[in-house]
Amino acid sequence: MSPHYQTKKRFGQNFLTDKNIIEQIIRIINPKDSDNLVEIGPGNGALTEKLLTFCPRLWTVEIDRDLVSILKQRFMHYKNFFLIEGNALEINFSTNFAPLPIRVIGNLPYNISTPLVFHLMQHRHVIQDMLFMFQREVVERLYAKPHNKSYGRLTVMVQYFCEVFPMLDVPPEAFQPIPKVNSCFVRLLPRKQIKLSAENELILARLVSTCFQQRRKTLRNSLRKFCSEPDEFFSKINLDLRPDQISVQDYVYLSNQLGALNFDPK
Ligand code: SAM
């Protein structure tokens, strides 16, 4: 890193500096010469440099103008390096990175991890897999099972669309500056087929969000927002339970029942 560069907290800049961890992450990504990789937040290029030696195309998306000019100086002579200056949350992943499908990777700034995952779910049809460094606590939420305090809206929506594989725990000392939290590198694999699919994903999203807004209330209480007699319409589920006590499949059932009521999620 240039000695003149001041890291920016607002962009969640904790750069990976531990060479051993960087090697392990590259091994987990396991880039192939057929891969079309998209790296979010390349920073000063700790992962970028290694990835460029493996793959025919590496797209990078970086928001910080100062880092963009450092990256350009460092990597522009690589024919397989492509850089977009911008906000990953505003990028259309379905149209910007031909050829498809893409693999999306990154040591993400913690403040955008959840919105980015929701954004990427909308583009999952063009995504082969996603490999991200997240705060350990976020990975616990992604991976949680019902009856666990980490089980929530993020869990249900991500597990509906993807399989979740925590791959590597990473200690704070692997980064500069050192963050206050532990991290975990995780793989999200979009499901090719969903066993019980939601007829309307907007309804599912709206339902899950409404239920978890009132975590301590019974499902019956939350579902009254959608219909006056929930026990009649959602008879397969025990509505005395709380939102964190039913499975992803149960949410799909509730959502499909709600669809049958002609509920408009907009
Ligand atoms: N990949 C580098 C590494 O591992 O050392 C840097 C990781 S650092 C945690 C996060 C990077 O994402 C920073 O370079 C930051 O500027 C960039 N970033 C933050 N918000 C972003 C956004 N919305 N879109 C694209 N890049 C972003």
Domain with residue 14: its CATH number is 3.40.50.150
**Domain contains 1:** no
pLDDT at 132: 98
CB atoms within 10 A of CB 74: 16
| Packed helices 248-260 and 201-213: angle between N→C axes, nearest 10 degrees | 110
Q: Ligand 1 atom 20: the closest Cα is on which residue?
A: 11
d(CA 117, CA 193): 19
Residues 6+ apart with CB under 8 A from 199: 255, 256, 259
**Domain contains 195:** no
pLDDT at 194: 82
pLDDT at 46: 96
Query: Is 80 exceeded by the pLDDT of residue 264?
Result: no
**Domain contains 60:** yes
Predicted confidence band at 88 (pLDDT cuts at 50, 70, 90)? very high
Do residues 70 and 164 both lie within one domain?
yes
> Over the range 217-234, which residues count as b (16 or more CB within 10 Å of their CB) and which as e?
ebbbbbbeebeeebeeeb
- Boundary-marking domain end, from 162, 190, 218: 190
- Boundary-marking domain end, from 150, 166, 190: 190
Do residues 120 and 242 both lie within one domain?
no
Query: Is 90 exceeded by the pLDDT of residue 265?
Result: no
d(CA 191, CA 180): 33
- Counting ligand 1 atoms within 8 A of each CB, the residue from 1, 7, 8, 11 with the most, and so the one to mutate, is 11
Predicted confidence band at 93 (pLDDT cuts at 50, 70, 90)? very high
Q: Can you tell me the mean pLDDT for 105-121?
A: 95
- For the chain, report the end-to-end CA distance as a whole number of angstroms: 47
Predicted confidence band at 3 (pLDDT cuts at 50, 70, 90)? low
Do residues 185 and 82 both lie within one domain?
yes
Q: Ligand 1 atom 22: the closest Cα is on which residue?
A: 87
Measured in Å, residue 124 CA sits from the centre of ligand 1 at: 21
Do residues 34 and 165 both lie within one domain?
yes
97 touches 38 (CB < 8 A): yes
**Domain contains 4:** no
Do residues 223 and 115 both lie within one domain?
no
Q: Can you tell me the mean pLDDT for 162-179?
A: 97
CATH number for the domain harbouring residue 232: 1.10.8.100
| Phi-psi category of residue 249: left, alpha or beta, with phi > 0 → left and psi -120 to 50 → alpha | alpha
For the chain, what is the mean pLDDT?
94
Do residues 171 and 74 both lie within one domain?
yes
Q: Can you tell me the mean pLDDT for 207-212?
A: 96
Over residues 114-142, the pLDDT tens digits come to 999 999 999 999 999 999 999 999 999 99
Total domains in the chain come to: 2
Query: Is 70 exceeded by the pLDDT of residue 209?
Result: yes
Do residues 216 and 182 both lie within one domain?
no
Do residues 164 and 208 both lie within one domain?
no
Predicted confidence band at 1 (pLDDT cuts at 50, 70, 90)? low
Predicted confidence band at 5 (pLDDT cuts at 50, 70, 90)? confident
Do residues 32 and 151 both lie within one domain?
yes
Of the candidates 161, 103, 144, the residue with the CA atom closest to the CA atom of residue 127: 103
**Domain contains 145:** yes
pLDDT at 227: 86
Do residues 49 and 176 both lie within one domain?
yes
**Domain contains 266:** no
- Boundary-marking domain end, from 190, 221, 247: 190
Query: Is 70 exceeded by the pLDDT of residue 20?
Result: yes
**Domain contains 2:** no
Instruction: Provide the residue range defining the domain that includes 177.
Output: 9-190
pLDDT at 196: 84
Q: What's the pTM value of the predicted model, to 2 decimals?
A: 0.94
Q: Ligand 1 atom 21: the closest Cα is on which residue?
A: 63
- Counting ligand 1 atoms within 8 A of each CB, the residue from 91, 108, 135 with the most, and so the one to mutate, is 108
Do residues 103 and 212 both lie within one domain?
no
Q: Can you tell me the mean pLDDT for 207-227?
A: 94
Measured in Å, residue 64 CA sits from the centre of ligand 1 at: 8
Q: Can you tell me the mean pLDDT for 64-68?
A: 97
Q: Can you tell me the mean pLDDT for 245-250?
A: 97
pLDDT at 2: 63
Q: Can you tell me the mean pLDDT for 81-99?
A: 96
122, two tokens: 């909308």
Do residues 81 and 143 both lie within one domain?
yes
Q: What is the pairing mode between strands 57-62 and 127-135?
A: unpaired
**Domain contains 176:** yes
